[in-house]
Structures are given as C-alpha cells and as structure tokens.
Amino acid sequence: MKATGIVRRIDDLGRVVIPKEIRRTMRIRDGDPWEIYTEKDGEVIFKKYSPIGELSDFAAQICDSLHRSTDALAAVCDRDAVIAVSGGGKRELLSKPVSAELEQLMESRRLYRHESGAPSLPIVDGEGPYSVAVAAPVVSEGDLMGCVLFAQLKNSPPAGEVEYKLAETVAGFLGRQMES
C-alpha cells in the first residue's frame, strides 16, 4: 500500500472526501461503485468495483471464441482496464488502463468501426502496436460497464462487417448477462 500523506476527517454524515488529485489519477468518477474491506488491525480498504470484472473468466472464454471465429485479436474492457484478451497482445494489453480516447468512445455509447484513412484510436495508454478496429459498449440496466472490441495493428485495413456484428452481439449479451 502506498501512503499519500493526506489526512481527511469523517463528517457528521459519515462521509470522507477523496482529494481531486487522487480521483483524477485513479480514474474515480461520480457514481463509481466501491467494495469495502476491513482488516483486523483496523484498516478500511476501498477498492473500485468492476461488475464486468466479476465476469473475467467468462469474458476470457468469449474472447477466445471470438478469436477462433474471426482470427482477429479480441478483447473485453471494463471502464478502466482491459480484462480479457485472446489472439495475441496479452503482454501489451491485459490489465493495462484504457486510453482516454477509448474511454471517451465508451462514454459515447456508440458502436465504432475504424475507417481507412482515419487516425487510429489507441486501446491502452502509451504507444502500443494495437488500435481499435471495432468497439461496442457493454450497457447493463442503463449503466456503461465497458466494451467488447476487436484490435488491429496500426495502419491495418479496416475490420469487416462480421467483426462489427459480433462485437455488437457479444456486448449486448454481456449487458443482459450482468442484469440477471
């Protein structure tokens, strides 16, 4: 655990303010769910909760099926990080924070397909070899949970209609799966 040197008091309603700098660096947004853990020595630990992260084994199986069907690199992301990858790129993508561009794309809640000549959209922060070919948001009960995507090497030809429809279908399925 990393100490920040910041001390906050609990107000009369039991609330604690998380400093803006920490919220920004940890990508904490209004309405984010949190898990609360307690330790025997009196520590209280808050951990960001990822509902789609609970399905990480299931997401890995879906990515594997998508990869076998299309021979393309498939991934599932929650709102903050890549949680499952199949078809290569695990070292570059798995558990890495999503890029600000992908985060904005997810927030728009629109299907996305990279077009020829358009600038590439990075999947993770930093300079990696992969960009988004197709992305479909996972929405459950009106809340954005993450996205299903197909990746491509930068400057590759655009993905086809099959990848587009598969991403849309799997994202819808994951959204409904999380509702039950």
Angle of the 161-179 helix axis to the 56-70 helix axis, nearest 10: 160
Q: How many residues does the chain have?
A: 180
Let me know: does 128 contact 99? Beta carbons within 8 Å. Answer: no
Q: In this predicted structure, what is the pLDDT of residue 101?
A: 94
d(CA 129, CA 174): 27
pTM equals 0.76
Let me know: does 144 contact 156? Beta carbons within 8 Å. Answer: no
Q: Which of 5-19, 53-67, 129-143, 144-158 has the highest mean pLDDT?
A: 129-143
